[in-house]
Amino acid sequence: MRVADGRLRPVSSPYLAPDEQDEPFDDTPKEACGVFGVFAPGQPVAHLTYLGLYALQHRGQESAGMAVSDGEGITVVKEMGLVSNAFDDRTLTALSGDLAIGHTRYSTSGSSTWRNAQPVYRGVDHVEFALGHNGNLVNTEALAAEAGMLPGTVTSDTDLMAELLTTSLLARPDLEPGAAFEAELSDVLPRLHGAFSLVFADRERIIGVRDPNGFRPLCLGRLDGGWVLASESPALDVIGAHFVRELEPGEVVIIDRTGCRSLHPFDPVEIDPRLCLFEFIYFARPDSVLYGQSVHHARVRMGEALAEQAPVEADLVMGVPESGIPAAEGYARRSGIDFGHGLVKNRYIGRTFIAPTQALRSSAVRMKLNPLRDNIEGQRLIVVDDSIVRGTTTRSMVRMLRDAGAKEIHLRVSSPPYRWPCFYGMDTGSRGELLAANLTVDEIREYLDVDTLSYLKLDHLLEATGAVGAGFCSACLTGEYPIEIPANLTKQVLEHPDDPSAPERAMPVLGDDLERGLPVEEAARLFDRT
């Protein structure tokens, strides 16, 4: 293997692009990753992958990488930080080849380190491939134990998948590489439980895989002289590829010089489409297409449904930038109340903000959002947001609007209450950190200090997607998990398999210093439940 030099930089590196990072006061849901693959002989595949990853940057900002094959070997380049931090023109020009895969990461399994950056690589004897993964397995510990792996042998579920496949391939030296790859994928993939949209690359082909539930998106595109795989359709648009279709749950697509063909290695009884509902609510870009539906138009319809479900007299409808704006537009359209902007988003704030005093830390939200006082003062506001997870940011935002002179604040949320943690590739915290898991809707209203609060009902949300009956996972809203979750599942299960003191699978309790405790603790104080 040829691995380009990659230096380990902290995630808070000053090189990180400002608006595309996870701010310490941002308690929105966090996605797992974005994946991309291109097979296009004679074209600058590294540059195409770079552009594709840029279009998927919103799905992960911890690290970025790509693997490029020239038919003789695979070169891997990966770096902590954003796509722009990992690659420059000199690096891309040197990465010549016919095919490539790429990855942007947000860690939901394994620590945020250079070792866990993707694509992961394996090169032993006749085996050489790279792998990128979007999602999260739920049976990592069982698989590692079954394979007899010592603790620390692998440090993420992606690393585990690569190791399992390598072991299987090494046992088949009698087969031609392509045939061996297909045979062993058909053996290994059915053993994986959870969410996995994958891109593989060996020297001659790229392969796309979507799990039997289709938790995470993956689509196929056509490029002049080639093919493209991507987590979302805008990554096809940016390189001039034409959207062909979404991969089916349980489908494996193999792309090489002979063309594009499909395998279906999973038992048909396991095929149960369950696309993450939050792809429509929040994760996917508004210009993405999922289940054949425009994500932007779906979010507008969510706002329209909210206006019908929870009308209220007001002077202005505003959305929380950026993700709440389409639903706010829909609410305004259906209600007949004027739409306007009440908050200005600072697009140039980075992750590096570390304040020396509580007073400065309490200003963290204002660094990102600042009110338009002329639009707010004396007004009855309808504020539309996509979700409330821990509530720290929302509570601070409400105080900001009150300080700017808002007469009334009516909060409308374009999703149901978020009550359960996700284990399929979304990092939202433990139940103790989820506001709606510990408070009633009326208590949340009081906690946030809004005049009224309404969440979109689940059936109205499903209807708004435009894909009723297509199949969704709503476990974070209902607690009904399509795949059974092991009781001991943690983010670092492979790094600390038997350590009860290992970090819990939860996003850091950061936020501003207006409330340092978890929502459940704050609720106990607020509602005298001590």
Q: What H or E segment, with its residue span, contains residue 131? A: strand 127-137
Nearest to 255 by CA among 207, 220, 199, 223: 207
CB atoms within 10 A of CB 11: 17
Distance CA 214, CA 156 (A): 20
* Single-letter amino acid code for the residue at 254: I
Nearest to 199 by CA among 230, 244, 171: 230
Distance CA 329, CA 337 (A): 10
Contact 409, 370 (CB under 8 A): no
33 given a catalytic annotation: yes
CB atoms within 10 A of CB 143: 21
For residue 147, what are the CA distances in angstroms to 150, 156, 364, 422?
A: 9, 15, 47, 26
Contact 169, 127 (CB under 8 A): yes
3-state secondary structure (DSSP) of residue 240: coil
Q: How many helices (H) and strands (E) does the chain have?
A: 19, 26
| Rama region for 305: left / alpha / beta (φ>0; ψ in -120 to 50; rest) | alpha
CB atoms within 10 A of CB 31: 27
Residue 130 corresponds to which tokens in the numbers above?
């790279």
Contact 188, 165 (CB under 8 A): yes
Catalytic residue among 33, 276, 473, 476: 33
* Single-letter amino acid code for the residue at 246: E
Which positions are annotated as active-site residues?
33
